[in-house]
Structure 1
Amino acid sequence: MTETYETETYEFFSEARSEAVVNARMGADVSTRLAQVMASLVKHLHAFAKDVELTQEEWGLAVDFLTRTGQMSDGNRQEFILLSDVLGLSMLVDAINHRRPSGATENTVLGPFHVAGAPHYPMGSNISLDGKGESCLFIGQVRDTDGSPIAGVQIDVWCDNADGYYDVQQPGIQPQWNNRGIFVTGPDGHYEFRGIRPVAYPIPDDGPVGQMLAALHRHPNRPAHMHFLVSAPGFETIVTHTFVAGDQWLNSDAVFGVKTSLIASIETGTDTAWRSHFDFVMTRKTA
Structure 2
Amino acid sequence: MIVTSAQATEKISSLNEVQAITEMVHLSFSNCPDERTKFLFKNLIDHLHNFVRETSLTHEEWLASINFLDRFRQEDHYIMVLSDIFGVSTLVDMVSNKKPLNATENTILGPLYTENTQILKNGDSIASEGKGDYFYMSGRILDVQGNPIAGAIMDVWEADQHGVYDIEYPDYNDKPDCRGRFTTGEDGVFAFRAVKPLAYPFTDNGPAKDLLDALHSTKYRPAHLHFKIVAPDYMELVTQLYFKDDQYLEIDTAFAVRQSLIVDPKLITDTSITLARGFKEAKPHHELERDFVLVREQDLIKPTPKA
Q: Same fold (TM over 0.5)?
A: yes
Which secondary structure state, in structure 2, belongs to the residue aligned with residue 96 of structure 1? helix
Which secondary structure state, in structure 2, belongs to the residue aligned with residue 25 of structure 1? helix
Does residue 1:23 correspond to 2:32, yes or no? no
Which secondary structure state, in structure 2, belongs to the residue aligned with residue 137 of structure 1? strand
Q: CA deviation at 1:137?
A: 0.5
- Comparing 22-31 and 128-137, the one that deviates more: 22-31
Give the aligned residue type for 2:53.
K
Match of 1:49? 52
Question: Where has structure 1 moved over 6 Å in runs of 4 or more?
Answer: none
Distance 1:178 1:24, change over 3 A: same
Whether the aligned pair in 2 keeps the contact of 1:104 and 1:280 (CA below 8 Å) is yes
How far apart are the structure 1 equivalents of 2:117 and 2:151?
A: 17
How far apart are the structure 1 equivalents of 2:33 and 2:185?
A: 49
Distance 1:31 1:150, change over 3 A: closer
Whether the aligned pair in 1 keeps the contact of 2:116 and 2:176 (CA below 8 Å) is no
How far apart are the structure 2 equivalents of 1:30 and 1:153?
A: 38
Match of 1:34 among 37, 42, 51: 37
Unaligned ranges ≥5, structure 1: none
Aligned pairs for 1:56-95 within 5 A: 56-73=59-76, 77-78=77-78, 80-95=79-94
How far apart are the structure 2 equivalents of 1:81 and 1:67?
A: 14
What is the CA deviation profile of residues 202-245 of structure 1, one whole-angstrom value per residue up to 9, with x for unaligned ones? 12242222211111111211111111111111111110111111
Whether the aligned pair in 2 keeps the contact of 1:144 and 1:150 (CA below 8 Å) is yes
Match of 1:187? 186
Aligned length: 279
What is the CA deviation profile of residues 82-113 of structure 1, one whole-angstrom value per residue up to 9, with x for unaligned ones? 11110011112233344311110001111111
Aligned pairs for 1:1-287 within 5 A: 7-8=5-6, 10=9, 11=12, 14-73=17-76, 77-78=77-78, 80-172=79-171, 176-269=175-268, 270=270, 271-272=273-274, 273-286=285-298
How far apart are the structure 1 equivalents of 2:28 and 2:190?
A: 56
Give the aligned residue type for 1:250.
L
Q: Percent identity?
A: 34
Give the aligned residue type for 1:160.
A
How large is the RMSD of aligned CA atoms in angstroms? 2.2
Whether the aligned pair in 2 keeps the contact of 1:152 and 1:185 (CA below 8 Å) is yes
Which secondary structure state, in structure 1, belongs to the residue aligned with residue 17 of structure 2? coil
Which secondary structure state, in structure 2, belongs to the residue aligned with residue 286 of structure 1? helix
Whether the aligned pair in 1 keeps the contact of 2:116 and 2:174 (CA below 8 Å) is no
Q: Normalised by the size of structure 1, how large is the TM-score?
A: 0.89
- Comparing 95-104 and 184-193, the one that deviates more: 95-104
Whether the aligned pair in 2 keeps the contact of 1:130 and 1:178 (CA below 8 Å) is no
